[in-house]
């Protein structure tokens, strides 16, 4: 062995192909779960001047290069580090903090979000929330009686009626919202208001309709009131949106509920859950639509116009909002 080679630090020596391949394989096995964990805490970042998201690319490159650099320096301890990482994941899985299954689920949702992005809905006419006047706001608020025991108990019941196996960890809250949507939407039957004026049925009143035939009956106001009350009763944030829709060439008023589901980072997992897990048949061939408010929070349309949350908005006009 030459003198120069003998005094060259081990991590700086050239690797043979048979040394490099297993090193990269082990690095990748360490990078993927680490990347998913770190990526969940990285804010969305777009290529300047475009809508192209590059935060996932930058995060992966930084994590990979960091792990590879450390692996080159301590490759004689690499297997020990790898074994330590596996042991840590086993412990986290055992205590219910972060399992291998959750790593795989997060990675699948990440890959899906890259290929199947949700669509941010843009409104042609949108009023500043501070300037909005929601007609008959007091009557709507009074009808959303989410603290009524009948409403609260019904909301709690249907929040765990569907998708319970997926209601874990960070998914718990939004999956319960989706369960509420599914149950109310499938039981809803549209019935017109009296011709001489609006009738705002309280949520508790609408729940009592189930006793006769297991169906809810009412118009968009009644639906929005019930949906808003049930989501609110289990800890969700809801607002009712007033808009105008075109029906047979005539412009008609319409109200629908929107539910806060998090930020754009949370939306990646939600998009995967709706399209690939919870509402596969209902959303087949259709994208997920969402709205972003002035605080960069993401809201999903919970209207009855489709059979999955995040269905297409019926109108591009947004007249007023009522925060429940």
Give the start-to-end residue ranges of the domains of the chain: 3-115, 122-323
pLDDT reported for residue 192:
92
Mean pLDDT of 122-132: 62
- Check: pTM over 0.85? Answer yes or no: no
Quickly state the pLDDT bin for 81 (edges 50, 70, 90). low
- Tell me what pLDDT residue 77 has: 63
pLDDT tier at 42, thresholds 50, 70, 90: confident
Q: What pLDDT score was predicted for residue 75?
A: 62
Query: Tell me, what's the pLDDT at 205?
Result: 97
Question: Higher confidence at residue 216 or residue 268?
Answer: 216
Q: What is the pLDDT of residues 202-260, one digit of tens each?
A: 999 999 999 999 999 999 999 999 999 999 999 999 999 999 887 777 778 899 999 99
Q: In the CATH scheme, what is the code of domain 122-323?
A: 3.10.620
Closest CA to 178 of 196, 165, 190, 191: 165
Q: Closest Cα to residue 302, out of 207, 232, 210?
A: 232
What's the 3-state SS for 225-253? HHHHHHHHHCCCCEEEEEEEEEECCEEEE
Q: Starting from the edge strand earliest in sequence, which strands make up the sheet with 119-120, in order?
A: 119-120, 289-292, 298-301, 250-262, 238-247, 320-323
The pair of three-digit structure tokens given for residue 80, joined into one six-digit string: 């020990």
Burial class (CB in 10 A: 0-12, 13-18, 19+), 283: buried
Nearest to 40 by CA among 88, 94, 119, 109: 109
């Amino acid at each position: 062995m030459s003198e120069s080679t003998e005094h060259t630090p081990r991590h700086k020596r050239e690797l043979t192909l048979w040394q490099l391949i297993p090193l990269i394989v082990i690095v990748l096995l360490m990078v993927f779960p680490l990347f998913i964990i770190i990526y969940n805490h990285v804010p969305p970042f777009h290529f300047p001047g475009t809508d192209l998201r590059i935060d996932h690319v930058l995060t992966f490159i930084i994590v990979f290069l960091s792990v590879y650099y450390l692996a080159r320096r301590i490759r004689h301890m690499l297997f020990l580090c790898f074994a330590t990482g596996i042991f840590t994941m086993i412990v986290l899985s055992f205590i219910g903090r972060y399992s291998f299954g959750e790593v795989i689920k997060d990675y699948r949702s990440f890959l899906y979000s890259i290929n199947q992005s949700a669509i941010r809905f843009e409104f042609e006419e949108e009023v500043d929330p501070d300037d909005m006047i929601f007609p008959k706001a007091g009557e709507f608020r009074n009808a959303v009686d989410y603290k009524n025991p009948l409403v609260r108990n019904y909301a709690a019941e249907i929040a765990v009626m569907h998708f319970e196996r997926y209601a874990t960890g960070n998914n718990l809250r939004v999956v319960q919202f989706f369960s509420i949507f599914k149950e109310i939407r499938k039981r809803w039957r549209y019935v017109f208001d009296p011709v001489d004026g609006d009738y705002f049925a309280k949520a508790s009143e609408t729940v009592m309709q189930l006793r006769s035939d297991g169906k809810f009956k009412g118009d968009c106001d009644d639906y929005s009131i019930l949906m808003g009350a049930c989501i609110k009763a289990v800890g969700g944030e809801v607002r009712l949106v007033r808009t105008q829709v075109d029906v047979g060439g005539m412009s008609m008023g319409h109200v629908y509920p929107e539910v806060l589901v998090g930020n754009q980072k949370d939306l990646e997992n939600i998009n995967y859950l709706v399209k690939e897990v919870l509402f596969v048949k209902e959303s087949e061939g259709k994208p997920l639509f969402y709205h972003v408010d002035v605080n960069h929070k993401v809201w999903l349309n919970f209207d009855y116009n489709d059979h999955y949350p995040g269905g297409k908005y019926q109108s591009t006009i947004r007249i007023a909002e009522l925060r429940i």
